[in-house]
Amino acid sequence: MTPRPRPRAPRLSLWAQLFLAAIASTAVALGVVGLFVRHATASQLATYSHRRSVAVVHQVAGALVQQYRLQGDAGLHAAATHYAALLNTVIIIESRRGRVLYRAAPPVGPRHAGSTVSATVPLYPLGPRVRVVLSHLPNLGPRLSPVMKSLLSSLLVASLVGFLASLLLSSLVGDRIVRQLQRIAQGARRLGAGEWSYRVAPEGPVEVRELAHDFNRMAAALESGEHDRHRLMADVAHELRTPLAILEGYLEAWREGVDIPGADPLAVAQQQARIVSQLVDELQDMALADAHQLELQRDEVDVGHLAAAVGTDWQRLADQRHIALTVEPAPAPLVWGDARRLRQVLGNLVGNALKYTPDGGAVTVAVARDADTGGVRVTVADNGPGIAAEHQSHVFDRLYRVDASRSRGTGGFGLGLAIARQLVELHGGRIGVASEPGHGATFWVVLPPAPTDAGA
């Protein structure tokens, strides 16, 4: 029988990890500080005790020299006996070769181990220089022990207070961070449930606030994408409904043998089928562009010839509406690109210009060398109503139409300019618009020149 896998222990929450990390770091820091302070204090006390002992030896040696000079051996004996009893230590006077010249001890002997400190001083006629040794000199350890204990106790209390304060602060900070992260996680769950308008209030540290801002930007992008998706579905349904309804009506009339005066059923059906085909092509191009699968068949392209061909394509419509369609090619370098896709871009720009130009107006297509890049600059200018400033930055967005109506006569499906921008950028170029309401619009395209070696 296969044993069941043991369930994994639940991982600690972020708050618990932050809290434990704060406890560990605070304990280590306070421990290191405590050991350092204790070691430094003990070292300073030992240094002070040694210096004090040396100072006492020099004071005793000076007193012995003075008494010896005043009273001789008797004064030396009396002074040595007095200081031995006063300091409860053994005083030894040695020659430079280590021979004991005089020794004095307290009446009952030294009552502690103590330390041994010496000083060398001149002492005539016992010798030019003798050494005065204080053996079993009491040190300051026992006397300073209460001070050391009090210092360590204060250090322990301060460490405990700092430890508790650190725990409190880390708990508050960790709770604040975790609550904000929980709100962001809740927002992610609500977005997953379809609440696209949910936003998170930026709070907490800088990094958490930046995360909240990024979340809000992501939510806004998702909301916009969902809105575009719904609008796309509605627009596709609307755009397909009209031509299909016309086709269905004419086919029904044709099947029943009804004669529609002044209408050619086949021509109408062909026109509506062309509209549906154009819509499908636009949707396919946009899908390929989103998937980065638009392939370009590159070659050296004369944009001036392309502009002339596009003008020929649209000349009939321009003549029907009495619009003066003019193509003004000028000497310009070749570009390295896909002629079919570039013709699609120019055709879209000319078609939009004709759509917005009133009957009897004018549309001008100009091709020239771009002075800044050395490439090709194409402009399509009309004398239509123009584009308001608040719309100019959005005209190349997909599904965006200056006229919000759903008629192809006033804005089309809203994909043509978005596809044009994708194609121009794939060629390494730029596209833009300049317009003043009431004075027409000018769309421009700048394409880089072809390399000297086309094979490059």
Question: Which burial class, exposed, middle or buried, applies to 363 when counting CB atoms under 10 A from its CB (0-12, 13-18, 19+)?
Answer: buried
> What does the pLDDT read at residue 325?
92
Q: Does domain 206-287 have CATH number 1.10.287?
A: yes
Domains 206-287 and 294-447 fall in the same CATH topology:
no
Q: Collapsing DSSP states into helix, strand and coil, what is residue 382? A: strand
Which fold does the domain 294-447 belong to in CATH?
Heat Shock Protein 90 (3.30.565)
> What does the pLDDT read at residue 454?
40
Which tens digits make up the pLDDT trace of 164-202? 777 777 777 777 777 888 888 888 888 888 888 888 888
Mean pLDDT of 268-278: 77
Contacts of residue 341, Cβ cutoff 8 Å, sequence gap at least 6: 294, 296, 423, 426, 427
DSSP track, 295-341: ----EEE-HHHHHHHHHHHHHHHHHHTT-EEEEEE-----EEE-HHH
Beta-carbon count within 10 A of 379 CB: 17
Is the pLDDT at 123 greater than 50, yes or no?
yes
Task: Give the residue, 169 or 261, on which the prediction is more confident.
Answer: 169
Is the pLDDT at 274 greater than 80, yes or no?
no
> What does the pLDDT read at residue 368?
92
Any idea which of 61-65, 103-107, 137-141, 361-365 has the lowest mean pLDDT? 137-141
> What does the pLDDT read at residue 166?
74
> What does the pLDDT read at residue 335?
92
Q: For the chain, give every domain's residue range.
A: 13-195, 206-287, 294-447
> What does the pLDDT read at residue 244?
81
> What does the pLDDT read at residue 1?
47
**H helix runs in 357-399, sequence order:** 389-392
Is the pLDDT at 140 greater than 70, yes or no?
no
pTM above 0.85, yes or no: no
**Proportion of the chain above pLDDT 70, given as a percent:** 80
Which fold does the domain 13-195 belong to in CATH?
Beta-Lactamase (3.30.450)
> What does the pLDDT read at residue 56?
81
Mean pLDDT of 389-398: 79
Which tens digits make up the pLDDT trace of 7-39? 554 566 666 776 777 777 777 777 777 777 777
Task: Give the residue, 1 or 308, on which the prediction is more confident.
Answer: 308
Mean pLDDT of 405-434: 75
Phi, psi of 101 (to 5 degrees): -95, -30
- From residue 232, how far is each of 195, 212, 294 by CA, in Å? 20, 29, 21
Task: Give the residue, 106 or 432, on which the prediction is more confident.
Answer: 432
| Best mean pLDDT range from 134-148, 274-288, 319-333, 442-456 | 319-333
> What does the pLDDT read at residue 102?
75
| Order of all β-strands in the sheet with 362-369 | 324-329, 362-369, 376-382, 441-447, 430-435
pLDDT bracket for residue 396 (50, 70, 90): confident
pLDDT bracket for residue 369 (50, 70, 90): very high
**Residue 103: closest CA among 139, 68, 71, 77:** 77
DSSP track, 125-157: TTEEEEEEEEEEE--SHHHHHHHHHHHHHHHHH
Which tens digits make up the pLDDT trace of 288-337? 776 667 778 888 999 999 999 999 889 988 999 999 999 998 888 999 99
Query: How high does pLDDT run on average in the chain?
Result: 78
> What does the pLDDT read at residue 456?
40
Mean pLDDT of 393-418: 64
Is the pLDDT at 3 greater than 70, yes or no?
no
**CB-CB contact of 187 with 200 (8 Å):** yes
Beta-carbon count within 10 A of 106 CB: 18
